[in-house]
């Protein structure tokens, strides 16, 4: 099945002549035009506890979250991964070297939880670290890679988030950060690929060299050949400055994204205190434009109707999940407004006008600036649902910290 998926994707690239299938990538940064393992052909969607709960987690949290994803309809919209982050395990392995879930936090064990999630039509994600320890100093995978992958497969894990605290740099004298990370993550990737189970692989090395352009570029040259998605920025938190910082770090990385290889700007803060609804809507819009994974990190059971409405916008989700897999790029800047354009599989374009400033802005942009030829176009506002036509300009007033988001298609 994986081989067939690869053939189909390569054929689609050949027939379409799309830049994503080859020459669009920077010299020295060759990347596959398809998923290395046939998985995650659209960005993963679901839940991760870290941004909201950090180590305040237990079995009931994930059971309740799973139930709410189903009851609210979020699961049907694509939010299917329920991912456990750090702090789930005991601080020591057992006598056989096996990882041990904390029995007070997870009294039924991980296999039971995986089975429960699967019974709800959901998928099970877990956290580990490629180094000696996790960031919270629980046992890491280094020295136990194949053993731990077997354990995860036996639990029914569908998604592995692999952090990179306490990296084993001392084991590889003379090798730099990127070279060691490539060795370790490739070994995990190969173990996952031969585990007998389809496990999406979320990796972290780029985030550890963010702000160091040379080292970052070196990591990005290989990351897509062994991982399905990769963190590109600092840990996000529920503040506008954090969202803007992660947006700024991720928005220029379109050349590295492809179906099955995604730039991950970190979790969604929709539903958390600390940002206005306008700002929450903007994060959701920008993450969709950037083809970033959509992983909710809040108390899903207590989502306000307004926050639930943001997360449930099927038209915006469709932009994020577009099968062409092209991440948006900034095509124009007008003062404090970034104009992003993203080509879509059916020939449409998604266009976002992002006002980073502190006051409302009236903005007009020519259709040709977003990569379209002169002609008649239909503009669908993906938030207001208003539909209009234009031959030349997209004009909109954008609130401070707001995003105007459109699907632009040829008018008939």
Condensed to tens digits (0 to 9), the pLDDT of residues 393-409 reads 999 999 999 999 999 99
Helix segments in 196-323, DSSP class H: 205-208, 213-220, 240-250, 277-289, 305-311, 314-320
Selected catalytic residue, list 234, 235, 299, 315: 235
Q: Residue written as tokens 């290889």?
A: 261
> What fold, for 329-410?
Immunoglobulin-like (2.60.40)
DSSP state at residue 274: T
Residues 179 and 187: beta-carbon distance below 8 Å: no
Give the confidence band of 412 by pLDDT, cuts at 50, 70, 90: confident
Condensed to tens digits (0 to 9), the pLDDT of residues 17-55 reads 333 333 222 333 444 568 999 999 999 999 999 999 999
pLDDT above 90: residue 225: yes
163 is catalytic: yes
- Among 226, 235, 82, 58, which residue's Cα sits nearest to residue 159? 82
Residues 6+ apart with CB under 8 A from 97: 144, 147
Q: Residue written as tokens 């490539």?
A: 182
Rounded to two decimals, the pTM is: 0.92
Q: In what order do the strands lie in the sheet with 294-296?
A: 262-264, 229-231, 200-203, 159-163, 123-129, 81-83, 45-48, 294-296
Condensed to tens digits (0 to 9), the pLDDT of residues 68-126 reads 999 999 999 999 999 999 999 999 999 999 999 999 999 999 999 999 999 999 999 99
User: Beta strand 393-398 with 377-381: parallel, antiparallel or unpaired?
Assistant: unpaired
Selected catalytic residue, list 85, 86, 163, 266: 163
Residue ranges matching CATH 3.20.20.70 in the chain: 2-320
Condensed to tens digits (0 to 9), the pLDDT of residues 150-197 reads 999 999 999 999 999 999 999 999 999 999 999 999 999 999 999 999
User: φ, ψ for residue 276 (rounded to 5)?
Assistant: -70, 165
Q: What is the pLDDT of residue 34?
A: 81
Higher-pLDDT residue of 350 and 8 is: 350
- Centre a 10 Å sphere on the Cβ of residue 391 and count the other Cβ atoms it contains: 10
Residue ranges matching CATH 2.60.40.1180 in the chain: 329-410
Residues 6+ apart with CB under 8 A from 136: 55, 86, 87
DSSP state at residue 235: P
| DSSP assignment of 116-170 | HHHHTT-EEEEEEESSSB-TTSSB-STT-HHHHHHHHHHHT--EEEEE-SS--GG
Q: How far apart are CA 403 and CA 354, in angstroms?
A: 4
| DSSP assignment of 41-61 | SS--EEEESHHHHTT---HHH
pLDDT above 90: residue 65: yes
Share of the chain above pLDDT 90, in %: 90
User: Beta strand 200-203 with 159-163: parallel, antiparallel or unpaired?
Assistant: parallel
Please state which architecture CATH assigns to domain 2-320. Answer: Alpha-Beta Barrel (3.20)
Condensed to tens digits (0 to 9), the pLDDT of residues 345-383 reads 999 999 999 999 999 999 999 999 988 988 999 999 999
């Amino acid at each position: 099945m994986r081989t067939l998926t690869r053939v189909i994707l390569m054929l689609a690239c050949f027939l379409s002549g799309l830049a994503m299938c080859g020459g669009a990538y920077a010299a020295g940064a060759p990347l596959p035009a398809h998923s290395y393992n046939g998985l995650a052909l659209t960005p993963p969607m679901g839940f991760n506890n870290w941004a909201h709960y950090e180590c305040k987690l237990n079995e009931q949290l994930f059971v309740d979250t799973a139930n709410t994803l189903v009851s609210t309809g979020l699961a049907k919209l694509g939010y299917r991964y329920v991912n456990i982050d750090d702090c789930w395990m005991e601080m020591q392995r057992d006598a056989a070297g096996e990882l041990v879930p904390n029995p007070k936090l997870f009294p039924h064990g991980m296999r039971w939880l995986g089975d429960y999630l699967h019974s709800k039509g959901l998928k099970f994600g877990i956290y580990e670290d490629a180094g000696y320890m996790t960031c919270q100093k629980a046992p890491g995978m280094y020295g136990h890679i194949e053993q731990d992958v077997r354990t995860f497969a036996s639990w029914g894990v569908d998604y592995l988030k692999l952090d990179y605290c306490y990296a084993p740099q001392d084991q590889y004298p003379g090798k730099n950060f990127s070279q060691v990370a490539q060795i370790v993550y490739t070994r995990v990737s190969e173990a996952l690929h031969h585990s007998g189970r389809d496990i999406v692989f979320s990796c972290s090395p780029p985030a550890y060299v963010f702000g160091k352009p040379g080292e970052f570029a070196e990591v990005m040259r290989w990351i897509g050949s062994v991982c399905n998605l990769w963190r590109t920025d600092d840990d996000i938190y529920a503040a506008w400055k954090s969202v803007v910082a992660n947006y700024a770090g991720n928005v220029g990385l379109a050349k590295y994204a492809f179906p099955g290889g995604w730039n991950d700007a970190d979790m969604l803060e929709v539903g958390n205190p600390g940002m206005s609804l306008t700002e929450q809507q903007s994060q959701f819009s920008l993450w969709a434009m950037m083809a970033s994974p959509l992983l909710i990190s809040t108390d899903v059971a207590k989502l306000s109707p307004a926050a639930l409405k943001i997360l449930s916008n099927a038209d915006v989700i469709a932009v994020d999940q577009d099968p062409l897999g092209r991440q948006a790029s900034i095509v124009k800047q007008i003062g404090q407004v970034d104009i992003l354009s993203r080509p879509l599989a059916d020939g449409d374009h998604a266009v976002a006008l992002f006002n980073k400033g502190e006051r409302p802005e009236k903005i007009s942009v020519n259709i040709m600036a977003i990569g379209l030829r002169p002609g008649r176009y239909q503009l669908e506002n993906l938030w207001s649902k208003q539909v209009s036509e234009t031959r030349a300009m997209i004009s909109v007033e954008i609130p401070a910290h707001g995003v105007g988001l459109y699907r632009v298609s040829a008018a008939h």
